[in-house]
Structure 1
Amino acid sequence: MKEVLNQLVNFGFLQSVFLLLIFLVPAKKEKNINSYMLILIMITLMGLIGKIVYNSGIYGSNFRFIAFSEFSALLFGPTIYLFTESILHKTKYTHSNLFHYVPGVAYSLFIVVYFIIPSDAIILSRIKTGELQRVIYACHAVGLLVNITYWFKGFKVFVNFEKEMKKEASFEVHIHFMRNFLFLTGFCLLVWTVLFVTSFFGFPMLERNARPYIWILLTLIILFITYYLMLQPQVLRSIPEIKSKKYHQSKLSIEDMEILKVKLDKLMLEKKPYLNNKLLKKELAELLGINGPELARLLNENVGMNFFEYINYFRIKEFVNLAKTEKGKQLTFYGLAQEAGFNSKTTFNKSFKKLMGVSPSVYFNQKI
Structure 2
Amino acid sequence: MQALLNQLVYLSFFQALLLLAVYGLSPTQRKRINGYILVFIALLAVGLLGRVLYLTGLVADNYRWVIFSEFATLLFGPTIYLFTQSALLKRPASYHHGWHYLPAVLFNVGVVFTFMLPSDETLQMRAASGEQFRNIVLFVGVGLVFNLTYWVMSVRSFQQFRRTLSSEMSYMIKTKFFLLFLLAIGGCMLTWLVLYVGGIFGLPMFNRVVWQVIWISIALLILFIAVYALQAPELFTVVPPVESPKYAQSKFSATELDALKDRLEQLMAAKKPYLNRKLLKSELANLLGVSSPELARLLNERIGMNFFEYVNYYRIKEFIELAKTDRAQELTFFGLAQEAGFNSKTTFNKAFKKIVGRSPSEYFRGVS
Aligned mates of 2:14, 2:315 — CA distance in 1: 49
Aligned mates of 1:206, 1:344 — CA distance in 2: 46
Aligned mates of 1:141, 1:208 — CA distance in 2: 19
The code of the aligned residue for 1:118 comes to P
**Alpha carbons of structure 1 residues 221 and 329: separation in structure 2 relative to 1, 3 Å:** same
The offset of 1:274, in angstroms, is 0.4
> Any idea what SS the aligned residue of 1:327 has?
helix
Aligned mates of 2:246, 2:200 — CA distance in 1: 49
**Alpha carbons of structure 1 residues 20 and 237: separation in structure 2 relative to 1, 3 Å:** closer
Higher RCO (CA < 8 A, seq sep 6+): 2
The offset of 1:100, in angstroms, is 0.5
Equivalence for 1:289: 289
Equivalence for 1:211: 211
Answer yes or no: is the 8 Å Cα contact 2:92–2:241 preserved in 1. Answer: no
Show CA shifts across 1:314-346 (max 9, x none): 111211222222211321121111011011122
Aligned mates of 1:238, 1:324 — CA distance in 2: 43
Aligned mates of 1:76, 1:15 — CA distance in 2: 18
The offset of 1:246, in angstroms, is 9.9
Equivalence for 1:47: 47
The offset of 1:3, in angstroms, is 1.2
The offset of 1:205, in angstroms, is 3.0
Answer yes or no: is the 8 Å Cα contact 2:171–2:279 preserved in 1. Answer: yes
The offset of 1:177, in angstroms, is 2.6
The code of the aligned residue for 2:175 comes to I
200-209 or 217-226, which moves further after superposition? Answer: 200-209
Q: Percent identity?
A: 48
- Verify: 1:159 aligned to 2:153, yes or no: no
**Alpha carbons of structure 1 residues 60 and 237: separation in structure 2 relative to 1, 3 Å:** closer
Please show how residues 262-277 of structure 1 align to structure 2 within 5 Å: 262-277=262-277
Equivalence for 1:94: 94
The offset of 1:27, in angstroms, is 4.8
**Alpha carbons of structure 1 residues 115 and 326: separation in structure 2 relative to 1, 3 Å:** same
**Alpha carbons of structure 1 residues 215 and 162: separation in structure 2 relative to 1, 3 Å:** same
> Any idea what SS the aligned residue of 2:111 has?
helix
The offset of 1:245, in angstroms, is 4.8
353-362 or 334-343, which moves further after superposition? Answer: 353-362
Equivalence for 1:345: 345
Show CA shifts across 1:95-148 (max 9, x none): 221111111111111111010100111111111111111211211211111111
Aligned mates of 1:315, 1:153 — CA distance in 2: 36
The code of the aligned residue for 1:26 comes to S
- Verify: 1:150 aligned to 2:150, yes or no: yes
- Verify: 1:59 aligned to 2:59, yes or no: yes
Aligned mates of 1:354, 1:163 — CA distance in 2: 18
The offset of 1:234, in angstroms, is 2.2
Aligned mates of 1:182, 1:168 — CA distance in 2: 23
Equivalence for 2:13: 13
17-26 or 90-99, which moves further after superposition? Answer: 90-99
Answer yes or no: is the 8 Å Cα contact 2:9–2:219 preserved in 1. Answer: yes
Answer yes or no: is the 8 Å Cα contact 1:175–1:239 preserved in 2. Answer: no
Question: Across the two proteins, how many residue pairs are aligned to each other?
Answer: 368
Equivalence for 1:137: 137
The code of the aligned residue for 2:223 comes to L
CA RMSD of aligned residues (A): 2.1
The code of the aligned residue for 1:271 comes to K
The offset of 1:42, in angstroms, is 1.3
45-54 or 131-140, which moves further after superposition? Answer: 131-140
> Any idea what SS the aligned residue of 1:341 has?
coil
Aligned mates of 1:274, 1:58 — CA distance in 2: 63
Aligned mates of 1:174, 1:269 — CA distance in 2: 30
> Any idea what SS the aligned residue of 2:62 has?
coil
The code of the aligned residue for 1:296 comes to A
336-345 or 184-193, which moves further after superposition? Answer: 184-193
Aligned mates of 2:138, 2:363 — CA distance in 1: 59
Equivalence for 1:187: 187
Answer yes or no: is the 8 Å Cα contact 1:247–1:297 preserved in 2. Answer: no
The offset of 1:72, in angstroms, is 0.8
Aligned mates of 2:305, 2:246 — CA distance in 1: 16
Show CA shifts across 1:19-49 (max 9, x none): 1111222154752332211211111111101
The alignment's TM-score, normalised by the length of structure 1, stands at 0.93
Show CA shifts across 1:252-282 (max 9, x none): 1000001111111122122211001111111
73-82 or 83-92, which moves further after superposition? Answer: 83-92
Aligned mates of 1:41, 1:199 — CA distance in 2: 28
Equivalence for 1:80: 80
Aligned mates of 1:238, 1:94 — CA distance in 2: 13
The alignment's TM-score, normalised by the length of structure 2, stands at 0.93
Structure 1 residue runs of 5 or longer lacking an equivalent are: none
- Verify: 1:335 aligned to 2:335, yes or no: yes
Aligned mates of 2:113, 2:310 — CA distance in 1: 60
**Alpha carbons of structure 1 residues 357 and 142: separation in structure 2 relative to 1, 3 Å:** farther
